[in-house]
């Protein structure tokens, strides 16, 4: 049997760290691993926030094409980058244990969201983060922030922003925990769908790869992420919808919290549900969000 696996990855420091983590685990199991860096559409757009016409698959389409044409055997994605529906013939072969799913603030001076000065300049490219930040502090000035983690931190340090909002998982994976000023509670400041989780994507019929990564799989993480992704799929969501969803597994039950906001933060709709079936829980929450906030979905379509 061929013992070499080619992993496809984006070229950012975080993407490489995630791909190398996967490669190390495979190497420990006796596989030979090669990394192939693939530049995606999302990587090429660095000068603006994503708008309604920009699909959630902007960071994955090129990787999926490489999987389908056989250029790579395995793609390592941040789960939150995956659209609700994958390219035909591809599946998530394994979901490793989740990193911290929370959002965090990294500030130059302030110690917390509440301590930031009036009119503080906050950098983020996420409409979900923007909406929840403005819901908490309507005085904040939201400024578009694009680029990889190192680029964003450099812009903060250069004085372009007073504070930036990032995912805890990325900073943890890069060993940058000391930069974190405040962790935002995942129930009140709801993370993106799949935030903190990885998706190991492979061809559906590639049994060799499925067998290679099965030991990485965390059933609880997969169930939690499935509930979150079901909300996203049911609402036909992408990057343009200010939607957050976060699930945890407690006593075999899936506890899901979700939020749908207006981009300016003046409307915040929260729903939650608990059950054994992740998809049923996700659908129930999505239906209630749609019933209460259908106009918000139409505005961002």
Q: Is residue 108 situated within a structural domain?
A: yes
Which pLDDT score, from 0 to 100, does residue 300 have? 64
Q: How many domains does the chain have?
A: 1
Which pLDDT score, from 0 to 100, does residue 279 have? 98
pLDDT one digit per residue (tens) for the chain, 301 residues: 688 999 999 999 999 999 999 999 999 999 999 999 998 765 554 444 444 444 455 678 899 999 999 999 999 999 998 887 788 999 999 999 999 999 999 999 999 999 999 999 999 989 999 999 999 999 999 999 988 999 999 999 999 999 999 999 999 999 999 999 999 999 999 999 999 999 999 999 999 999 999 999 999 999 999 999 999 999 986 656 899 999 999 999 999 999 999 999 999 999 999 999 999 999 999 999 999 998 888 776 5
Q: Is residue 110 situated within a structural domain?
A: yes
Q: Is residue 53 situated within a structural domain?
A: no
Q: Is residue 56 situated within a structural domain?
A: no
Cα separation, 36 vs 133, whole angstroms? 37
Closest CA to 179 of 191, 159, 164: 164
Q: Is residue 166 situated within a structural domain?
A: yes
Other C-beta atoms within 10 Å of 52: how many? 13
What distances in angstroms separate CA 145 from CA 17, 126, 142, 159, 258, one per listed residue?
22, 9, 9, 13, 24
With vertex at residue 157, the alpha carbon angle to CA 16 and CA 176, rounded to the nearest 5 degrees, is 40
Q: Is residue 288 situated within a structural domain?
A: no
- Phi, psi torsion values for 151, nearest 5 degrees: -65, -40
Which pLDDT score, from 0 to 100, does residue 2 have? 81
Which pLDDT score, from 0 to 100, does residue 236 have? 80
CA atoms within 13 A on the CB side of 29: 17
> Which residue range forms the structural domain that includes residue 115?
103-183
CATH number at residue 152: 3.40.190.10
The catalytic residue among 43, 54, 69, 81 is 81
Note the helical H segments in 58-206.
61-68, 127-136, 149-157, 168-173
Q: Is residue 167 situated within a structural domain?
A: yes
pTM recorded for the entire structure:
0.90
Q: Is residue 159 situated within a structural domain?
A: yes
Q: Is 43 a catalytic residue?
A: no
Cβ atoms 258, 271 nearer than 8 A? yes
């Amino acid at each position: 049997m061929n013992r070499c696996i080619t992993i496809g990855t984006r070229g950012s420091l975080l993407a490489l760290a995630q791909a190398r983590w996967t490669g190390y685990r495979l190497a420990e199991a006796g596989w030979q691993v090669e990394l192939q860096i693939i530049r995606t559409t999302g990587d090429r757009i660095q000068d603006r926030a994503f708008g309604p016409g920009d699909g959630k698959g902007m960071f994955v389409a090129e990787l999926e094409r490489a999987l389908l044409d056989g250029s790579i055997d395995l793609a390592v994605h941040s789960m939150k980058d995956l659209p609700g529906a994958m390219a035909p013939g591809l599946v998530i072969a394994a979901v490793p244990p989740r990193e911290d799913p929370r959002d965090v603030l990294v500030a130059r001076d302030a110690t917390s969201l509440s301590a930031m000065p009036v009119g503080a300049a906050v950098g983020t490219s996420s409409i979900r983060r923007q909406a929840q930040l403005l819901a908490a502090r309507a005085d904040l000035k939201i400024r578009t922030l694009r680029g990889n983690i190192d680029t964003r931190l450099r812009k903060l340090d250069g004085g372009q922003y007073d504070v930036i909002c990032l995912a805890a998982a990325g900073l943890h994976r890069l060993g940058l925990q000391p930069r974190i000023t405040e962790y935002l509670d995942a129930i009140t400041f709801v993370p993106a769908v799949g935030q903190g989780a990885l998706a190991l994507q492979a061809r559906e019929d590639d049994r060799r790869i499925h067998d290679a990564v099965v030991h990485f799989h965390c059933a609880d993480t997969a169930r939690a992420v499935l509930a979150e992704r079901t909300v996203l799929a049911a609402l036909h969501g992408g990057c343009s919808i200010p939607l957050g969803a976060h699930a945890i597994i407690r006593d075999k039950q899936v506890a899901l919290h979700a939020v749908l906001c207006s981009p300016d933060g003046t409307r915040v709709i929260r729903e939650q549900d608990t059950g054994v079936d992740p998809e049923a829980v996700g659908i129930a929450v999505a239906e209630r969000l749609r019933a209460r906030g259908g106009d918000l979905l139409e505005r961002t379509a």
